[in-house]
Structure 1
Amino acid sequence: MKKVMLKTTLSLAVAMASSQLFASGFALNEQSISGMGTGYAGRSSSADDASIVAGNPAGMSRLKRDQITGGVAAIDAKTDIRHANGGPPGSTNDGDMVPFTKVPMLFAVKKATDDLAFGLGIYAPFGLITNYEDSFGGRYYGKKSDVKVVTFQPTVSYAFNQYVSVGFGPTINKISGQLTSSTPLAQTFGRNDGLVDIKGDDTAWGYKVGILVTPTDKTNIGLTYTSKVKYKLDGHTNISGAGFGPFNGGRYGASLDITTPESVDFSITQKLDDQWTVYAGSTWTRWSRLKDITVNNDGVPAQLGGAAGPIGTISEPQNWHDTWASAIGASFQVNKQWVLRTGFSVDQSPTNNTDRSVRIPTGDRKAVSFGAGFNATDDLTIDAALSYLWEEKVDVNRSGKGNNYSAQYDNSAWGYALGATYKF
């Protein structure tokens, strides 16, 4: 039982780590409505509005006026589970375990001088929500996952001259998560599944630094570095309905250390003429940091812990690899009021066929995006975007918790976004 509990806690860390992946897995790219329209191809080189705080802090000094940018993106995911095998009798595999999800964002930039700007960003860089049905065949390996990360980023930017700007911002990152999974031990005694419910949270610091170079009045070249963030999650593990002799559950302290990896984004924005602008960019993420994760549960009873005693430690391999995400995009300025955008992106998944989990059944993906911006007045701009992504079909093969489970996952998602920028 102890190993069941610890491995479920371990999945919490994996889910949190994976949350930098809706760009390439189950994480969030949605930090700019205007950027979404071009597939985020010009993430670090296009200072279109205050959302550049997240894309490249250096770009704030290129904005002409004080402004606030806010918006919300929504993700409507679909999953087909095919060729499922294993799980207890009567199991189901409905799929579509990701509910309709909203991702808000808010940014502000204040120009102190023509060259100096201050900004603040509040956004969600990481997030994961999956919720399988109670009778899901792989419920011993993951049933519900709900992980949220909110980042506060105060930022400063300075333009040395018309060619070079720099920016820096510390990030204050609040992470919280809840994961549940079923345990098969109760069935041994003719009872229903038990439930393991884990909650944990932490606040940790990181930083974002960028440089923006403008060699000509038509070319922007941006480079942004986002630091790793070290978390030490403290929380608790609740066990209910375990059915192990006289023991039916309890609440125990849980802790784990996890480091989300650093990333580097490079992009180019090239203005072709008064109407056409093209974008290209790539992002490298050091997911190879996640080789394994060590988890501790405190105070586990001896009948559940065996010879390990009251404190249990387990290490489980993940063997993730570094990833690249690349995108191209274009915008067309129809007239003074309207701009149209489009983009195409490809993202790698850091997972592998051996260690892939039902909580993160993700593969390499492609996405196509469309967007539009409308200048309602000289001070107000409305942005909207639409995207569709699809992943390669991937296999999940899990064993070791009483019932083996294997299945093929076919994932896709629609993204919708609406936002506004107001200039002072």
Structure 2
Amino acid sequence: MTPITLHRKTLLSVAIALSAVQLHAAGFQLNAQSATGLGRAFAGDSVIGDNASVIARNPAAMSLFDQQAISVGFETITTDIEVKDATYSSNVNPATPATTTNANTDSVGGTSIAPNFYYINPVSDKFAWGINAYSNYGTKTEFDEDYAGKEYGGKTDVKSLNLGIVGSYKVSPALTLGAGIDAVYGQGVFTRPDTDYSGGKDVLNIDANGWALGWNVGAMFELNSYNRFGLDYHYSPDIDAEGDVYKYNPASPNAAPVSDTVIMPLPDIAEFSGYHRLSPKHAVHYSIQYIQWSEFDKLETEKVGTIKEYNWKDAWHYAIGTTYYMNEQWELRAGYMYDTSAQDNTRSVSVPDSDRQWISAGFTFKPDTVSSIDFGATYLMGKDVEVKEATTHPQAPSFNISEINGTTHANAILLGLQYSRSF
């Protein structure tokens, strides 16, 4: 093997490792706090107060409860991701033609489960406190090991857990304020399988986890029992995830994983919501949510430094919904959300992000006066997005040693089930 060939293979291996980590951008927001909210596309979710799950959005809404209340449930998220009209090419030698391969696939998505738990304890007619456990962020994608563009695929499985304690104080009959502390746990597994350039070894393998502290504040203003507004803000911390990091290096092919700290920035979230019961049987509700994804400018570790620049943009959710109070036992609800993409100019095959539409429906069944069972379902529709990713030669920017072109499309089905009870 000549020195120039070894040098080119080393450059390609490093570029593969860096580009593959793009899937670490899997800090996608999860709207998985409750089956009730899922059934209305989370429209007005921070001020309706059907059950204890409202504290995930706005702690001030605890003033709506005059009895202890619990809520427990889960949500499943099943993604359907397609890469179509795609080609992959690679070449480490500018003097020879590139090898081009079909890079279409429709077997990328997966299913994740996000459980949740909430408890509210009204101490007096002015003060209440509560605890919660739910997830705000996470994603799961997995390409086949024989996918043509391995350095742009692989497996990513990111999970998060938010453990919080919240309190609220009713300042006046119209105004309630709330606040809380969040302990946020994040865990990520990232693997990129071997390529022709890695000698049968994985190109990348990261397994890391860590904790960080965040906080939230909220306010609720009640015109009357049928009309109210809410405003809340969640500060999300950067998570320092510690674990083993392995990146293939031809110069040290037998090197072991090293202990490192991966720094994952998470976005702050602000939301305004409204709820209006227009008649004894009908209500409308809405929300506007701002997600500061521009916080996710880069991914880095303490030892390696900057791994990848992202420069994402801030995103928005716009949701509107309606509830039909059929009788004392049944409630029906539906909602629509338009959800904007966090990605800007940089797109990725591994992270098929786009503007999305949510079509949601659900119901509540009350078997008695103190308990309820909720079911919610959402069909999430993404858009076709053209993607071009390339790995350029550091010493010849006009020459790509690896390139993938195609169109990505991602849809998802979300299902939620929940049990709630007051005491």
For the Cα contact (< 8 Å) 1:238–1:251, is it kept in 2? Answer: yes
For the Cα contact (< 8 Å) 2:47–2:273, is it kept in 1? Answer: yes
Q: Displacement of 1:277 after TM fit? A: 0.6
Structure 1: distance between partners of 2:107 and 2:128: 44
Amino acid at match of 2:341: S
Amino acid at match of 1:110: N
For the Cα contact (< 8 Å) 2:17–2:204, is it kept in 1? Answer: no
Structure 1: distance between partners of 2:410 and 2:17: 28
Q: Displacement of 1:253 after TM fit? A: 2.7
Q: Displacement of 1:10 after TM fit? A: 4.4
81-90 vs 171-180, greater mean Cα deviation = 81-90
For the Cα contact (< 8 Å) 1:176–1:200, is it kept in 2? Answer: yes
Structure 2: distance between partners of 1:343 and 1:422: 24
Q: Displacement of 1:91 after TM fit? A: 6.3
Amino-acid identity (%): 24
Q: Displacement of 1:92 after TM fit? A: 5.3
For the Cα contact (< 8 Å) 2:40–2:321, is it kept in 1? Answer: yes
Query: Paired residue for 1:414?
Result: 413
Structure 2: distance between partners of 1:371 and 1:111: 28
247-256 vs 100-109, greater mean Cα deviation = 247-256
Give unmatched runs, 5+ long, in structure 1: 21-27, 298-311
- Give per-residue Cα distances to partners, 1:319-362, cap 9 Å, x unaligned: 2111111000000011111110000000001102x422233111
322-331 vs 225-234, greater mean Cα deviation = 225-234
Alignment of structure 1 residues 109-124 onto 2, 5 Å: 109-124=120-135
Matched residue SS, 1:165: strand
Structure 2: distance between partners of 1:213 and 1:293: 39
Q: Displacement of 1:138 after TM fit? A: 2.8
Structure 1: distance between partners of 2:251 and 2:221: 68
Alignment of structure 1 residues 95-110 onto 2, 5 Å: 95-110=106-121
Query: Paired residue for 1:387?
Result: 378
Structure 2: distance between partners of 1:12 and 1:408: 17
Q: Could you state the TM-score of these two structures normalised by the residue count of structure 1?
A: 0.87
Structure 1: distance between partners of 2:209 and 2:338: 32
Amino acid at match of 1:234: E
For the Cα contact (< 8 Å) 2:86–2:102, is it kept in 1? Answer: no
**Residues 377 and 174 from structure 1, CA distance in 2 versus in 1: closer, same or farther, beyond 3 angstroms?**
same
253-262 vs 166-175, greater mean Cα deviation = 253-262
For the Cα contact (< 8 Å) 1:145–1:359, is it kept in 2? Answer: no
Query: Paired residue for 1:209?
Result: 217
How many corresponding residue pairs? Answer: 395
Q: Displacement of 1:245 after TM fit? A: 6.6
Matched residue SS, 1:72: strand
Query: Paired residue for 2:51?
Result: 49
Q: Displacement of 1:396 after TM fit? A: 2.2
1:159 alignment partner, one of 147, 170, 173: 170
Amino acid at match of 2:170: A
Matched residue SS, 2:28: helix
Structure 2: distance between partners of 1:31 and 1:368: 17
Q: Displacement of 1:279 after TM fit? A: 0.4
Does residue 230 of structure 2 align to residue 222 of structure 1? yes
Q: Displacement of 1:418 after TM fit? A: 0.9
**Residues 296 and 4 from structure 1, CA distance in 2 versus in 1: closer, same or farther, beyond 3 angstroms?**
farther
Alignment of structure 1 residues 344-363 onto 2, 5 Å: 344-352=336-344, 354-363=345-354
Q: Displacement of 1:192 after TM fit? A: 4.3
- Give per-residue Cα distances to partners, 1:213-272, cap 9 Å, x unaligned: 0012311100010013122222222357x6x37724421233333321211100100010
For the Cα contact (< 8 Å) 2:220–2:228, is it kept in 1? Answer: yes
For the Cα contact (< 8 Å) 1:12–1:177, is it kept in 2? Answer: no
Q: Displacement of 1:166 after TM fit? A: 1.1
Amino acid at match of 1:19: F
Query: Paired residue for 2:28?
Result: 19
Q: Could you state the TM-score of these two structures normalised by the residue count of structure 2?
A: 0.88
Q: Displacement of 1:390 after TM fit? A: 0.3
Structure 2: distance between partners of 1:91 and 1:403: 14
1:378 alignment partner, one of 365, 369, 375: 369
For the Cα contact (< 8 Å) 1:345–1:368, is it kept in 2? Answer: yes
**Residues 283 and 261 from structure 1, CA distance in 2 versus in 1: closer, same or farther, beyond 3 angstroms?**
same
Structure 1: distance between partners of 2:215 and 2:311: 26
Structure 2: distance between partners of 1:245 and 1:288: 36
Q: Displacement of 1:316 after TM fit? A: 3.1
Matched residue SS, 1:51: helix
Does residue 175 of structure 2 align to residue 137 of structure 1? no
Query: Paired residue for 1:7?
Result: 18
Amino acid at match of 2:186: I
Query: Paired residue for 1:23?
Result: none
Does residue 265 of structure 2 align to residue 259 of structure 1? yes
For the Cα contact (< 8 Å) 2:20–2:151, is it kept in 1? Answer: no
84-93 vs 37-46, greater mean Cα deviation = 84-93
Structure 2: distance between partners of 1:174 and 1:323: 23
Amino acid at match of 1:274: P
Matched residue SS, 1:229: coil
Query: Paired residue for 1:294?
Result: 300
